[in-house]
Chains A and B, each alone.
Chain A
Amino acid sequence: MTEEQHDIRLHVNGVRYSARVPARRLLSDCLRHDLGLTGTHVGCEHGVCGACTVLVDGQPARSCLMLAVSAARHDITTVEGLAAPDGTPHPVQRAFSECHALQCGFCTPGFLTLVAAYVRDNPDPGEDDAREAVTGNLCRCTGYQNIVAAVLRTAEITREHGASGAPEARRPAGRAGAADGPHSAASPKEGGRP
């Protein structure tokens, strides 16, 4: 059967891509297969596990519950877009590493995008808030304790050093980081990837 193809332009992590996809192509599959951005993981494919979470215009959303053809009007941020252009990890990436908030790593990209947006909007969460924030994402390895710790650590790093590496354009005006600029307080010793 010949299926109609749609030429779409996507704006992902600040880069413009074009792709030719059938209407039924999920955004998650488009990112992985058409654009080669395999950082976004696909777990349940019906919106339960949260592994495929990306930011749509700065807000977390399930990329398996969005059609690629519908994503063309939006700015998409995947886990690949969290680190600064020079490779400096985003505070959430540092925090997950420091707190051992991952084991197999399959669910991690979904948690990282989710928590990056959460801490941007909630700069000083308590432990209960942090736990509540990640209830929509499943992790089968860690038991969540270290993930909750990493949410708190992300907020701590962001307060201390600013949100260097976070997509500045998608941060609402007047939120954390607006006072000291996007990259002014980047940690000097975090240049390379671990």
Chain B
Amino acid sequence: MKPPPFAYHAPTELDEAVGLLAEAGEQGKVLAGGQSLIPLLNMRLAQPRVVVDINGVAGLGGIGTGADGVRVGALVRHSQLEADTAAAAAVPLLRQGLRLVAHPVIRNRGTTVGSIVHADPAGEMPAVLALLDGAVELRGPAGARTVPAAEFTTGPMETALAPGEIAVAARFPRPAPGTGTAFVEIARRHGDYALCGAAAALTLDPDGRVTAARCCLVSAAPVPLLVDLTPRLSGTRALPGELDEAAAAAAERSDPEDDIHASADYRRHLARILTGRALARAAAAASADTTAAPAADTGAIR
């Protein structure tokens, strides 16, 4: 189908964009990459009166990689972030997650921040942000604020964004030294929404003992399901049996839904298997990280 009618604005300044969006209130939508919004418009699942296209807004691009992590501006396309070697070196989970986001053609237009704001329970990048304890920078009529990932996604397709607010950047913290990460998922076809997916981060001390472990599941709950496995795995050597037990505990926390693609039971099964695989890969990466020389800082912020 075709999108419903709406008023279109293409501001060039952030304040102007915020003003237009605030004026539109609940009836306003931000257009960045459009790879989620425009399908919703075409299917008439969203009928905003006002669309504010931020593609021409100055200052919303740019990937900044520094000692504390990676800051991704609202106009950075998935493919641009995926190709950024400094960002991938600082926060490997970024590229691990981005490669699973839809198809390359969609990643050419879709933005990482837009994907986080869209808050699809099957989305990879909200899970990446949650697993890393990242944050989203917002600008609204009342000024700027930064919302931690744990408070940002409030439900399926729902976030802490107030009417009139624009997400201007996402911050992905650099994991602690000795941390390995991984993201695995199962989809009906490569590039489809995941039936279930699991991201994991696991930290080893120089003796090879676990000091921290957590996972984040997608398509397993209404929001990215973050599970802290540190109490279970701390002090262990991340042996396969130990990881599998932790994965089973994480899967028990999942609350997936039945749909035409998979039953809830099958998704729970996938949650256990995929969490186990993600933890094993993260442990292998952590082990490689602790034995290798510390990576040099890959660049200053912008």
Contacts and interface: CB of A to CB of B under 8 A. Distances in A.
Interface of B: 1-8, 10, 31, 34-35, 38-39, 41-43, 51, 53, 55-56, 79, 102-106, 108-109, 189-191
A10 to B, nearest CB: 15
Contacts of B1: 45
Nearest to A23: B8
25 contacts: A1-B5, A3-B5, A22-B5, A23-B6, A24-B3, A24-B4, A24-B41, A26-B2, A26-B42, A45-B2, A46-B42, A47-B38, A53-B105, A61-B109, A62-B106, A65-B35, A65-B38, A66-B38, A67-B3, A67-B53, A70-B31, A73-B56, A135-B103, A136-B102, A136-B104
B3 A70 contact: no
B190 A132 contact: yes
A69 B108 contact: no
A81 interface: no
A29 B166 CA distance: 29
Interface string A50-79: 100100100111101111011001000000
Given A24-B6, A59-B108, A65-B109, 18 more contacts: A6-B8, A23-B7, A24-B4, A24-B41, A46-B43, A47-B38, A56-B108, A59-B79, A65-B38, A67-B53, A69-B53, A70-B34, A70-B53, A70-B55, A73-B55, A132-B190, A135-B190, A136-B191
Contacts of A69: 8, 10, 53
Given A6-B8, A65-B109, A47 B35 contact: yes
Interface of A is mostly: mixed
Contact of A56 (B8, B104, B109): B109
Interface of A: 1, 3-4, 6, 22-24, 26, 29, 45-47, 50, 53, 56, 59-62, 64-67, 69-70, 73, 114, 132-133, 135-136
B102 to A, nearest CB: 8
Given A24-B4, A24-B5, A136 B55 contact: no
A75 to B, nearest CB: 14
